[in-house]
Structure 1
Amino acid sequence: MTHYLLGVVVLMPATLMFLLMLISLRPGRSVAGLWRIFIRLSGLALAFTVLVGLTGLTGMEATGLRHWLAASPFGMIMAVLVQLLGTVIAAFSARYLEGEPGQRRYAAALAGVLSAVQLLVLANHWVVLIAAWALVGVALQHLLCFYPDRPFATLAAHKKRLADRLADVLLILAASSAWVAVGSGSFSDMWQFLAREGITDNLQLSAVCLVLAVVVRTALLPVHGWLIQVMEAPTPVSALLHAGVVNLGGYILIRFAPLLEQADLARTLLVTFGLGTAVIAGLVMLTRISIKVRLAWSTVAQMGFMLLECGLGLYTLAALHLFGHSLYKAHAFLSASMVVRQTRLHVMRGTVTAAPISLLLAPAVAVPMVLLIQAVLSNAAWPWWWSVVLGLAWAPMLWLPAGSDQTRTLFRQGLFGLLMVAGLTGLALLAHALPLGIHDAPHHTLGKIALTGMAALYLCLATLQLRPRSLGAWRRRIYAGFYMDEIYTRLALRLWPTRWISKALPIDRPIVTTMKTDDARKK
């Protein structure tokens, strides 16, 4: 009986959010009253999530539903994070959308997303995982199309719908292959099978399909365009998407670490897509002016970096990256107006380039510092090549402005950069002691490939600082993301035509994006 009661407690956050979705759809209640109920029930769901997280950290699970659900420590921390962000975003939305029509539909969709995510982080079975992730996408569609008269929002939602259906097919293939090999859809049974029998051809296929599904749903290149175009949606929707929903791909990969450890082809695909996305999206971000678009490209780059960490077997770092990115992006989008103000002030002060000597000294100082701190705190936290990668990633913090003759200012900035590098490295190393229940499995050959890619990215950044016009021939291609999204959009509209421009718009005639000629449309 105790087991079933614990199972009820575990499912309570998802149940409360589902109940909130039903309440939001019922007419008769004022919008202000609806938001008050939303925030209260969401806060109650957060309290239950924290309670379940505490029981999960002590090793307790909903044993009556163990075949279908599992309250793992990492999953519960993820659930607390998502529910906390959902509660904050709901409070922000109540003010942001004041006076807007369709707030009931918005609240219902937001509650549906949170309910599905709470179910997903508990998934211990293929059926639960596939159903919950599909429900997240269905509920999110209504948020992305909150302004139906915005063409690019409709187009982005259409492209995301296609990506979700492709991901669903890949997940079903992954589940079928694993089910045939293991004889069960339970993840716990699959982990036991892998420990006992090792990986089989069917499990190899399952891992590849899973990785491809995550690549599609996490908006890695070349299917990233919808994540950029959803900037047409309300700002709190962008915060929810970039801080919570899009990070679910990284959570799934960390959850499937026992399978990926033995699937070399799947890990190679992760490193290829992750590294390519991190490098290209990082370059594109430098060319964009719009604050929200820059943040969106930053998310694409960070997702690539997170999947790269998973492909290299550094699952603990990927989990820490996930937590940090979620909190940072939520704050960045919800305070986007302040970012605009800061950017305007920065532009008024003029462009500040880095001193050439600091471009050379920064990696020469950052890399040994990371290696030294790693040796002092822990030798086994991650391999040496990842220390070099982190040193290159954090080296721009040590860049000093060119042309400055104020020694005190240079000293202050240099000291701040050193403290940032040391603090981030120490925090990442100490966080390995957290009881997340995650075990790393570094892949050294792929790690050296990733090191080469990060070195090339740093070289490009340094070149742009020294000679801003040196990549002039590539500037248009970089700005356009090498036209990958245009190719994907044309293909998507050819395979699944749709009307994405409203008839109500003041144009001569409605534009039907069927990718056909006018003669064919007349017929």
Structure 2
Amino acid sequence: MTLLQVAATVSLCMPAALMLLALLTPRRQDRPTAALWQTCNALSGAALGFSVVSALLVPYLVEAQAGLNPTRLGSVLAVLVQLLGWVIGVFSARYLEGEHRQRRYMAALAGVLAAVHVLLLADHWVVLIAAWALVGVALQHLLCFYPDRPFALLAAHKKRIADRMADVLLIAAAGLAWTEVGTGSLTALWAHIAREGMSTSLHLSAVCLVLAVVVRTALLPVHGWLIQVMEAPTPVSALLHAGVVNLGGFVLIRFAPLLEQATPARSLLIAFGLGTAVLAGLVMLTRISIKVRLAWSTVAQMGFMLLECGLGLYTLAALHLIGHSLYKAHAFLSASSAVRETRLQMMRSAHGPTPVSLCIAPVLAVAAVVLMQTLVNPAAWPWWWSAVMGLAWAPMVWLDPARASLRAVVLQTCSGLLMIVGLATLALLLHSLPLGIRDVPHHTLGLVTLLGMAALYGCLVVLQIRPNALRRWRRWSYAGFYVDELYTRLALQLWPSHWAPHASHTGTPIGTRVDATAHP
């Protein structure tokens, strides 16, 4: 056994050992929960260390064994997952102090980390499907940590339905590919595609895979559980939004050799990704609650990430995944600070940006991105993606009407452009990292994406200039366009669940089956 295999095995076994420790340690007065948390966090730190060693040794890998293949990207993400798991574990020890069921929480947290780690190293259909299913099973216990909160139970039920649908689609994708290739090995699948090309079975397999990822990544219309999961403890929200929900992006990057020749599957990714990014972005503009805005932001970002995969920009999708994980972990674990900062910002600026800056901002932002791409890495991405990034970062150049002096306008514009230049330079430098990913951009679909982002920016401009002009649209947007309500009614009609608490107006006790129409 090589040193890489030893490091990967130890880093994988640490979360499993943590889970067993939390479940099997007897409840004694001389071993309080705080001491158990210290032991668990020490094991989590050791798993992080061995993950780093495994990532450093990946270039020296000879061959995959036992359905596991530590790729460069998978090993980097394994380090990220173990880092987030360790931080969330330390945070949870303080956040849950005095709460009951902490041992089950530790075990479920360790189970999620172990299953995610296996998925990141998977090189076989069976390992991939089993690991992703185990992630959902372990996560159910975290989502239902407070069993008396009805919307937490509803979110867990809706996620369970989505997971089972995704499992069926993944099994169908695996069966079609396995029949065509003759083995479940993913490495063998890539070799078969390079040698024989795509067949009808592989095209259908790619479509089933994309639909499974759409369902598991909480894209519209099955996004509602990700919004309602705010009823779970804050560290669970951080784990879900920063880690678990991002797995769909990694799976698509892993299956890039299959997707790059499957135009129907990529078209589905473009449709679901762009639609989710635009609609969720519009909903987020009308929400006030910090955590709810963060949840809708995650939905929009997942749509954007799958959009990048559909366009063949896999390197950008990987960088987006890493950046989104770090940002959302920090955002949820410091949500109270975000509330204070938002209040101060609202007190400082009660007016929207100037109309002139709304029109000039995208031009300046696109010019800054194109300039940095020309200077740093001209071949990093197509020109239309520079325009998409410019539209996304244009609000950084919006001007505050309260600062009317020429000096204030110049300083504010320069600071916004410097932020855009810094972000673009960082993205371009990270793009050159040897992650073992090959981009295959689709230019026609890229132009469609640019039009969609331009439409979203146009709605944002109208909302800033004439807030009352879209009053009816704002009501629909605030309600999420009622997509989740329709999905919830259908889900509860097909798969009824015991989730509603005692309601005085219905006289229904907890645990009684409630019709979907009672809670739209």
TM-score (norm 2): 0.96
Tell me, in whole angstroms, the C-alpha distance in 2 between the residues paired with 1:32 and 1:403. 51
* Aligned residue in 1 for 2:416: 417
Q: Which residue of 1 aligns with 2:155?
A: 156
1:516 and 1:410, CA in 2 relative to 1: closer, same or farther beyond 3 A? closer
Where 1:100 maps in the other structure, the secondary structure is: coil
Asked if 2 retains the 8 angstrom alpha-carbon contact of 1:239 and 1:329, the reply is yes
Deviation at 1:348, TM superposition (A): 3.0
Amino acid at match of 2:485: E
Question: Which residue is 2:37 aligned to?
Answer: 35
1:106-125 alignment runs, 5 A limit: 106-125=105-124
Residue type of the alignment partner of 2:439? D
Query: Any residues of structure 2 matched to 1:100-249 within 5 Å, and which?
Result: 100-249=99-248
CA RMSD of aligned residues (A): 1.7
Deviation of the 1:468 alpha carbon: 1.1
CA contact (8 A) 1:352 1:402 kept: yes
- Name the counterpart of 2:52: 50
Deviation at 1:508, TM superposition (A): 3.1
Give the match for residue 264 of structure 1. 263
Deviations 1:442-479 (A, max 9, x none): 00110000010001011111111111111111111101
Q: What amino acid is aligned across from residue 42 of structure 1 in structure 2?
A: S
Q: Deviations over 1:235-266 (max 9, x none)?
A: 00000000000000000001111100000000
Give the Cα–Cα distance (whole angstroms) in 1 for the partners of residues 404 and 516 of structure 2.
Answer: 62
Q: CA deviation at 1:503?
A: 5.8
Provide Cα deviations, 1:189-247, integer angstroms capped at 9, x if missing partner. 00000100001111101100000000000000000000000000000000000000000
1:318 is matched with 317
Q: Report deviation, 1:350.
A: 4.7
User: Is the Cα–Cα contact under 8 Å of residues 356 and 402 in structure 1 kept in the other structure?
Assistant: no
Q: Which letter maps to 2:153?
A: T
Q: CA 1:144 to 1:288, structure 2 compared with 1: closer, same or farther past 3 Å?
A: same
Asked whether the 8 Å contact 2:169–2:211 carries over to 1, the reply is: yes
Aligned residue number for residue 77 of structure 1: 76
Counterpart of 2:23 in structure 1: which amino acid? L
Equivalent-residue separation in structure 1 for 2:77 and 2:504 (angstroms): 42
Q: Could you say which residue in structure 1 is the equivalent of 2:284?
A: 285
Unpaired segments ≥5 residues, structure 1: 519-523
Deviation at 1:432, TM superposition (A): 1.8
Amino acid in the other structure paired with 2:262 = A
* Aligned partners of 2:116 and 2:135 also within 8 Å: yes
Instruction: Work out the CA distance in 2 between the residues paired with 1:454 and 1:405.
Output: 30
Secondary structure of the equivalent of 2:469?
coil
> Where do residues 421-440 of structure 1 align in structure 2 (5 Å cutoff)?
421-440=420-439
* Structure 1 position 504, deviation (Å): 10
Aligned-partner Cα distance in 2 for 1:128–1:388: 39
Aligned equivalents of 1:32, 1:378: Cα separation in 2: 50
- Give 2:61's aligned residue: 60
Is the Cα contact below 8 Å between 1:493 and 1:513 reproduced in 2? Answer: no
On the 8 A contact 2:119/2:128 being kept in 1, the answer is: yes
Are 1:252 and 2:254 an aligned pair?
Answer: no
Query: Which digits, 9 at most, give the CA deviation of each residue in 1:58-97, with x for residues without a partner?
Result: 2325x3x535110111000100001000000000000000
Deviation at 1:347, TM superposition (A): 3.0
CA drift at 1:284: 0.3
Residue 14 of structure 2 corresponds to residue 13 of structure 1: no
4+ long deviations beyond 6 Å: 504-507
Secondary structure at 2:467 match in 1: coil
The alpha-carbon distance between structure 1 residues 236 and 322, as it changes in their structure 2 partners (threshold 3 A), is same
Offset of 1:517 from its aligned partner?
Answer: 9.5
Could you tell me how far apart the structure 2 residues matched to 1:127 and 1:278 are?
31
Q: More displaced, 8-17 or 36-45? A: 8-17
Letter matched to residue 515 of structure 2: M
**Structure-2 residue corresponding to 1:521:** none
CA contact (8 A) 1:69 1:124 kept: yes
Indicate the residue corresponding to 2:449 in structure 1.
450
Mapped to 1, the partners of 2:33 and 2:135 lie a distance apart of 24
Check 1:44–1:517 CA distance in 2 against 1; reply closer, same or farther (3 A cut). Answer: closer
CA contact (8 A) 1:400 1:414 kept: yes
Residue 470 of structure 1 aligns to a residue whose secondary structure is helix
Change (3 A) 1:403 1:483: same
Shift of 1:40: 0.1
Corresponding residue of 2:301: 302
Distance 1:506 1:7 in 2: 60
Q: How does 1:328-347 map to 2 (within 5 A)?
A: 328-347=327-346
Structure 1 Cα separation of the partners of residues 517 and 303 of structure 2: 38
For 1:105 and 1:36, how far apart are their aligned partners in 2?
16
Shift of 1:371: 1.6
**Partners of 2:381 and 2:466 in 1: CA distance:** 35
Deviations 1:429-450 (A, max 9, x none): 1112101000000001100000
Number of the residue aligned with 2:515: 515
**Which stretch has the larger CA shift, 370-379 or 344-353?**
344-353
Aligned-pair identity in percent equals 66
Q: Which amino acid aligns with 1:60?
A: L
- Is the contact between residue 354 and residue 399 of structure 1 (CA under 8 Å) also seen in structure 2? yes
One-letter code aligned to 1:452: L
Residues of 2 paired with 1:80 and 1:411: CA distance? 42
Tell me which moved more, 370-379 or 99-108: 370-379
Q: What secondary structure does 1:471 align onto?
A: helix
Paired residue total: 513
8 Å CA contact retained: 1:144, 1:233: yes
The structure-2 alpha-carbon separation of the partners of 1:384 and 1:160, relative to structure 1 and needing over 3 Å to count, comes to same
CA contact (8 A) 2:242 2:328 kept: yes
2:384 maps to 1:385:
yes
Question: How much has 1:505 moved relative to structure 2?
Answer: 9.3
The separation in 2 between residues aligned to 1:67 and 1:309, in whole angstroms, is 31
Structure-1-length-normalised TM-score: 0.95
Counterpart residue number, 2:397: 398
CA distance in 1, matches of 2:193, 2:416: 45
Moved more, 224-233 or 376-385: 376-385
1:52 aligned partner, one-letter code: S
Q: What one-letter code is carried by the residue in structure 1 that aligns with 2:50?
A: F
Match of 1:356 in 2: 355
Deviates more, 1:420-429 or 1:220-229: 420-429
> CA–CA distance in 2 between the matches of 1:173 and 1:13?
31
5+ residue gaps, structure 2, are none
Tell me how far 1:147 sits from its aligned partner.
0.3
Q: Is the 8 A contact 1:355 1:403 kept in 2?
A: no
17-26 vs 345-354, greater mean Cα deviation: 345-354
* Amino acid of the structure 2 residue aligned with 1:391: G
Q: Structure 2 CA distance, aligned partners of 1:390 and 1:328?
A: 18
| Change over 3 Å in CA distance of 1:239–1:178 after alignment to 2 | same
Is contact 1:151–1:500 with CA below 8 Å preserved after alignment? yes
